Amino acid sequence: MNVNKLSKRLDRVVSYVIPGSKIADIGSDHAYLPCYAIKHGVASRAVAGEVVEGPYQAAIQQVNSSGLKDLIDVRKGNGLAVIEAGEVDCIVIAGMGGALITEILETGKEKLEGVKRLILQPNLAANNIRRWMLENEWQLIHENILCEDNKSYEVLVAEKGNPYLPYTDEKKEILLGPYLLQEKNEIFQHKWLQEIQQWEKILQHLKSSEENEANRRKQNELLEKIDMVKEALS
């Protein structure tokens, strides 16, 4: 992967950037995504945010070697602290857990003023993000699922608006994704069959453990999710 050829995962993410956008790539690592977006005319300006010193320095080096330091600001800071309200109109957060992405959005909510689009790629727990969107009036407008290096990744795209529009069965769709459920492609089915297998292993372990209220509650939660996913896949 480099500034001219992204991974399949990041290529899918950048495909949802509205052409001409000013973007912030949070957790930018080597700044491949903003460099690619600028070089290919997808974004007009970019902020590459990094909280860890090593990746921050790598991002600076990459931007400088690409000749893009006038169009990409590399900034060190935690989450959305690297941008000012109204500075960008598209925020990308890719390659983190859903809980961490949700925490970044919640902590930096005041920085979302003027942002037209969120493009979020959680490595797991996308349901946390969908729940946050519902609670904060961000409308999920598109979802995608892809496989790379034998791992599945979901991409969620949202714009400010009516958060309830895609949902008809909220609990199921928060977990599985309303648009992904409509398509139920091969990658989606494989991902959730694997999840069921993991949940059933955990369930067996819980059944052989000491019986208490917390254990029973966890078993019931797992059984509910297993039944929900099996029904969705049938």
| String of DSSP letters for 128-162 | HHHHHHHHTTEEEEEEEEEEETTEEEEEEEEEES-
Q: Which residues of 64-84 are buried (b: 16+ CB within 10 A; e: fewer)?
A: eebebeebbbbbbeebbbbbe
Per-residue model confidence (pLDDT) at position 82: 98
Q: What angle do CA 52, 36, 32 make, to 5 degrees?
A: 20
The total number of structural domains that make up the chain:
2
Same-domain status, 118 and 196: no
CB-facing half-sphere around the CA of 8: CA atoms within 13 A:
11
Q: Of 134, 165, 196, which residue is a domain's last? A: 165
| Domain co-membership, 41 together with 141 | yes
Q: Which residue positions in the chain have pLDDT lower than 70?
A: none
Q: What is the pLDDT of residue 14?
A: 97
For residue 175, being part of any structural domain is answered with: no
**CATH number where 150 lies:** 3.40.50.150
Instruction: Read off the pTM.
Output: 0.95
Kindly give the pairing relationship between strand 117-122 and strand 90-96: parallel
Residue 211: what pLDDT?
83
**122 and 196 share one domain:** no
Residue type, 120: L
Residues 54 and 18 in one domain: yes
In 3-state terms, what secondary structure has residue 49?
strand
- Phi/psi at 25 (nearest 5 deg)? -105, 105
Q: Which residues contact 62 (CB under 8 A, 6 or more apart)?
A: 3, 30, 31, 32, 35
> For residue 110, is it within any domain?
yes
- The DSSP 8-state label assigned to residue 93 in this structure reads E
Q: Is 212 helix (H, G, I), strand (E, B) or coil?
A: coil
Whether 109 is in a domain gets the answer yes
For residue 214, is it within any domain? yes
Domain boundaries, position 157 = 8-165
Q: For residue 60, is it within any domain? A: yes
Please name which of 109, 102, 70, 88 lies closest in space to residue 24, comparing C-alpha atoms. Answer: 88
Q: What is the pLDDT of residue 214?
A: 87
